[in-house]
Amino acid sequence: MYIQYTMDQLHLPMDLEDDIPLHHLVRVVNEAVNRLDDQIFKDAYPGGGRDSYHPKMLTKVIIYAYTQRIYSSRQIAKAVRENIMFMWIAGRQRPDFRTINRFRSERMKDVLETVFTGVLQFLAEEKYVKLEHYFVDGTKIEANANRYTFVWGKAVVKQKAKLQEKVQALFATIEAAEKQEEREQPELDLAELGEASALTSEKLEAAVQQLETKLQTQTNDKPLKKAVRAIRKDLLPRLQKYETQQEILGDWNSFSKTDPDATFMRMKEDHMQNGQLKPGYNVQIGTENQFIIGYSLHQRPTDTRCLKPHLEKVKAALGKLPNTIIADAGYGGEENYAYLESEQLEALVKYSTYHKEKSRKWQQDISKLDNWQYNQAEDTWTCAAGRKLLFRYESKEKTESGFEIQKRHYRSESCEGCPLREACTKAKGNREISVSMRYFRYKQQARKILRSEEGYALSVRRMIEPESVFGQIKNNRGYRRFLLRGLPKVSLEVGWLSLAHNLLKKAATDHKREMAMQG
């Protein structure tokens, strides 16, 4: 009547192999990691001590966990004990959550990028990617930090300046009191503090030590005691704190107290619609066929300054860059165009006004330089009214990164009596313009490539390349907030996510190919 059921009898076979479907994702992960050379992991294990779990086993477990939306080390350890797929890929071994967490965030810090590159190489060998086109984009992911314990650079500068002025006023009061008394020990005059803005914690420490020496001979000087106590317990610690905060800030405008590497950024997930800033990181990826070819982590909220360091990292990992770089208007700055040209790469990168130029309003705006004509032989610009603007002088300016931009300045011969003046300029005198001729040339090149048949196809494809990958990571796998803290560890998280994504994509591609063959 019933199929025999008993929990006390031993059944064969005990091998879990028969319970794992032939094309299951866990087999894809197992095969990919098995193809890696064992020598890749030697840097993670210097030797000595008792035997460790095999790094390939732990790598497989973590990658498979990320594909299953399991990110907590405790949950991964639980799955290894209870989930048959995890049992199989771990060979029935049971690493605890501390071992798993230490492996993914510490052991693999110098190895994970090599593992990622090794998996990418076999994907290229199997023709999943060709490494010809590189679609770049970025997204912001919230840091594992308190949203309300932050430090703003401007506030630190302001508070530090107030403190320095307070210290100067205190020492001025002490000096004024001393001038009214006979100085028995003139050699103990106060040290020169200089201007308030130049006062450092080292100078203040030296000065307060001098005051403490004076107190040894003037034990009844209550105002001096009170001043020394205020400096030691309040002013000096606060000045040291502000200096430490400024050191952490560096060139940044803000940082989180619970994750000092995270900076405050505006996130797309702003449900209150109030422009709230949250601590986070800017994740840059490059894709081909929706496989992640390269990744990097940045503390800048805008994408423009992230392109060069991102590509440099990819170049170091792969040995060379793909021939064609495709990116949206967020990357279309002169500095990025110059870098891509120096690397002899084809750049399908939109500039900020690319889409606006196609509108009728833009094309009919006679004040726009793009609607004028430039005569290279005469080095003159001709406005919509047919009047020439002549070259006057050249200027140079440097960006925050040190990139030099040369601008040429032109002025109209005469705007007097021009019927189009009101639509052209609001200036009282003759119309003046400044233009970077190099950027002007880059925009012309980009416009020509983007409007070609191949360029248009690639720019359309860009919208379904990295955007789809971000959608998979954030929405389908629910990864919207990092688990670890600090730039090095968060970079490792991005690496694990990228590995998991690529093997998920491989499994999905294999399934489509198999279905196509059967159909």
Task: Supply the pLDDT for residue 188.
Answer: 45
Q: What is the pTM of this model?
A: 0.81
Q: Which residues of the chain have pLDDT under 70?
A: 1-14, 46-49, 150-156, 160, 171, 174-198, 219, 249, 252, 269-275, 519
First to last CA, the chain: 41
- What residues pair up with 412 in beta bridges, in sequence order? 389
75 vs 51: CA distance, rounded Å: 24
390 vs 173: CA distance, rounded Å: 63
Q: Quote the Cα angle for 23-25-30, to 5°.
A: 95
Q: pLDDT (tens digit, 9 = 90+) per residue, 138-169?
A: 999 998 887 777 666 666 677 767 777 777 77
| Spatial CA neighbour of 282 closest among 330, 249, 321 | 330
Q: The tokens of 296 are what? A: 């990097």
Instruction: Label the pairing between strands 324-327 and 133-142.
Output: parallel
Task: Supply the pLDDT for residue 260.
Answer: 83
223 vs 173: CA distance, rounded Å: 10
Task: Supply the pLDDT for residue 1.
Answer: 58
Task: Supply the pLDDT for residue 335.
Answer: 94
Cβ pair 372, 354 in contact under 8 A: no
